[in-house]
Homo-oligomer: A and B are copies of this chain.
Amino acid sequence: MKPFFAPASVAIIGASRHPQKVGNVILKNLLNAHFKGKIYPINPSTATVLDLPCYPSVLAVKEKIETAIISVPSSLTPQVLEQCGQKGIKNIIMVTAGFSEIGNKELDQNILSIIKKYGMRMVGPNCLGTLDTYSGFDNLFLPRSRLTRPDPGVISFICQSGAVGSATLDLLSKEGMKFAKFVSYGNALDVDESDLLHYLGSDPQTKIICLYIEGIKDGKKFMKIAREVAKKKPVIAIKGGITNAGAKAALSHTASLAGAAGIYKAAFKQSNVIFAENLEDLFNYAKILEKCPRPKGPRVQIITNGGGFGILATDALSSCNMEIIEATESTKKYLRPKLPPEAALHNPLDLTGSVTTEHYKFALNALLEDKNVDMILLIVLLQTPLITPEIIDVIKEAKRKHSKKPIAVISTGGNFTDIYVRKIEDLGIPCYAYPNNAARALRALYEYYHKKK
């Protein structure tokens, strides 16, 4: 599976001189990434593409080719695949659409038999391709001017739909989320979600796996692999086509038999796959699971400088069955003289609008040490004027000293706040803008580690 993400050499079959053709965009993106492998444009009707020599077919290339990206009209795919087989290419990324998703099942069988004959593996058809931020192998056929590429990170995203993948990758990259590998696998005619999950389960660069699935081809295979992988690293999944109307839509998209919500939820649960209700949750969960250690229990201490945010966070945590209990009396006694006189020494601990960086320091460290506290939800509203830039050092130092207790931050605001949020996330602490998102993420963190086997 490795050549799907980091091949030593790649052929672009259907490379084109026309800037709006898929075969042109892919080539341009590969050249603009830091990809170190050999690149062979293939097109019988042109001599060069983007200043690279172009070959009439893969058979005209003398050197070994590991991976072929195919973007030709669907009617030409059998012929082109034959040539790949003869050339000894083992990994195919089939971008071309027009197979069973439009009812063309015969073509499916045709290319599947060629794949099998030569012992090749194929991602697609009807897919967007793959992206590896480490190897620089970027074959997504969407221009870099429109789709922000992520920086290298530890989250990998297996996404059946190309559009869901590219749009969220674009949004999240802008927001600073980092990724290891991305793959849009389309119709899953050969390589399916389970194969990719299996591979990424052993990928050392991948610490968290996010999945967008429309249909699972082989339920037993998926559950077996998911259960194994989820023992090693968190797997979070969202299911498209979970309602009847949605399932109908999935059928004409990737020819997936989407099936009943209950079955999927039960299968995920049994495999310890975290089920995300929506895209926002999927990545909010990924962020906390990437950055936070295992919480000992479900008890969350809220520290806030905004009473209302403390209340909303309490409501949200309480609604998802997390525990809001009081710190020990000795912690309170220690903190009382160190905090503003109007501070409410409960849970939430409300430091009020007159909070200073120093107050945060005392509260955060004391509560991280408290035996009644399993996790901290730290609300830092940076609009209040007495919080200084040293708040970053305070959080950094507290995390270093108490590295075994999860800390999540809520910080809500505009441009001034954004600068701090980036710095806090760079410390390895997840930040959220809305209390309910933070609360749901904390629950996902707790559940992943404490789910009954």
Contacts and interface: CB of A to CB of B under 8 A. Distances in A.
A253 B146 contact: no
A305 B162 CA distance: 11
B162 A353 contact: yes
Interface stretch (A111-119, A378-386, A422-430): A378-386
Contact of A433 (B142, B171, B350, B414): B171
B170 A413 contact: yes
B167 A413 contact: yes
A88 interface: no
Question: Chain copies in the assembly?
Answer: 2
Contact of A252 (B319, B344, B353): B344
Interface centre among A168, A245, A279, A315 (most CB of B within 10 A): A315
A241 B170 CA distance: 36
Contact of A174 (B280, B344, B348, B414): B414
A57 interface: no
Interface in A20-78: 20, 25
Interface string A337-357: 000001010111010110000
Contact of A162 (B170, B173, B306): B306
Nearest to A317: B245
Contact of A170 (B20, B173, B383): B383
In this complex, the interface size class of chain A, counting residues with CB under 8 Å from chain B, is: 35 or more
Interface centre among A312, A344, A352 (most CB of B within 10 A): A312
Contacts of A161: 306-309, 311
28 contacts: A20-B385, A20-B386, A97-B342, A142-B385, A147-B416, A161-B307, A161-B311, A162-B306, A163-B308, A163-B353, A164-B309, A167-B381, A170-B412, A170-B413, A170-B416, A174-B413, A241-B311, A245-B318, A248-B346, A249-B348, A252-B346, A253-B310, A253-B344, A253-B350, A277-B436, A278-B312, A278-B436, A280-B437
